[in-house]
Every structure is written in structure tokens, then in C-alpha cells.
Amino acid sequence: MRFLASIIALATLLCIAHAAGPRSQCVYLVNAQPGDTCTSVAAGAGTDIDTVETINPTVDCTAPFKVLTPLCVREYTPTCWAWVNATEATCDYLLPQFHLTKAQFVQNNDNVDENCDLMIGDQYCATTDSCEVNAAKCCEDFPDSVYCSY
């Protein structure tokens, strides 16, 4: 019995490891002016230099900017409301079920390429829209919404 519990725990950990989830989205973009630094932009935005460097890994923060440079200073990672185990090699079969475009599914999963290729058996975020998994409640709250037609 203990062996079976260990196998189940290991399988659960492996599934969680593959469930990458939604991509972070920039919610506060600053146009750094020539002469600004990552530190000055971070201070002006009320964040720290480590955050700016983490969010903008391709930006050189070792010297002042020479040209106008867009910097993301705050990100948001949406909550995934429904996870699915892939049963096919691409996401196409999931799109109608969750009312998604391919681009939206890719945005929901930072481990999915633009072709929407999936690893059968791996877990993927199907939707970051809470109303997709709770349409009746959303229809009640928003009677004229698209969720009332589901």
C-alpha cells in the first residue's frame, strides 16, 4: 500500500512539473528616455531593479539608455481556471470547447509553441476565464453576456 501511495505521489509531482500555466503579461510599460537607467525607471514606477531585470531579460541595465527604450515594470500572471490533460498532439480539439483561439491557448501556456503542439498526457491550462468554467453564475451576474448562450 505504501508503494502505491509513493507511485501516486510521484505521478502527481510529474504532472505538476509539466503544467507550466499562463504566460505573464506586462501591465505597466514605461518608455525609458535617453539618459534614464533601469534603476531610475524602477524607482519612478515604485518597483525595484531586480524586478525590472527579471521582467526584461534582454535589456542591458548596466548603463544609461541611449535611445527610447520600452521597459515592462509590472507583470501579471492570470489564474488558470481549468486544466486539461492532452489527448491529442495539437490544441485544435480544445479550442471550441473553451471558446478560444489558438493564440489565446498559446498565451495560456508558456510551454506551448505557436503551432499549439502538445505532449499527449501533459497538463495544460485550458482557460484563464473563470466564466468558462462557471457560465451559469456569470450568466446570472451578467444576463446579456455571451455566457448565457452556452
- The secondary structure of the chain, three-state, reads CHHHHHHHHHHHHHHHHHCCCCCCEEEEEEEECCCCCHHHHHHHHCCCHHHHHHHCCCCCCCCCCCCCEEEEEEEECCCCCEEEECCCCEHHHCCCCCCCCHHHHHHHCCCCCCCCECCCCCEEEEECCHHHHCHHHHHHHCCCCHHHHC
Average pLDDT over residues 38-55: 95
What's the gap between Cα 65 and its chain centre?
A: 29
Each domain of the chain, given as residue ranges in start order, spans 25-76, 82-149
Confidence check: pLDDT of 5 > 60: no
pLDDT class of 106 with cuts at 50, 70, 90: very high
Q: Give the model's pLDDT for residue 56.
A: 95
Q: Give the model's pLDDT for residue 141.
A: 86
**Comparing C-alpha atoms, which of 53, 123, 74 is closest to residue 94?**
123
Q: Give the model's pLDDT for residue 14.
A: 40
Average pLDDT over residues 34-47: 96
Class of domain 25-76: alpha beta
Of 35-44, 96-105, 106-115, 129-138, minimum mean pLDDT range: 129-138
Of 29-43, 54-68, 127-141, minimum mean pLDDT range: 127-141
Q: Give the model's pLDDT for residue 34.
A: 97
Q: Give the model's pLDDT for residue 139.
A: 83
**CB half-sphere exposure, 80, CA atoms < 13 A:** 20
Mean pLDDT of the chain: 85
Q: The whole model's pTM is what?
A: 0.61
Average pLDDT over residues 94-109: 93
Give the residue with greater pLDDT, 77 vs 50. Answer: 50
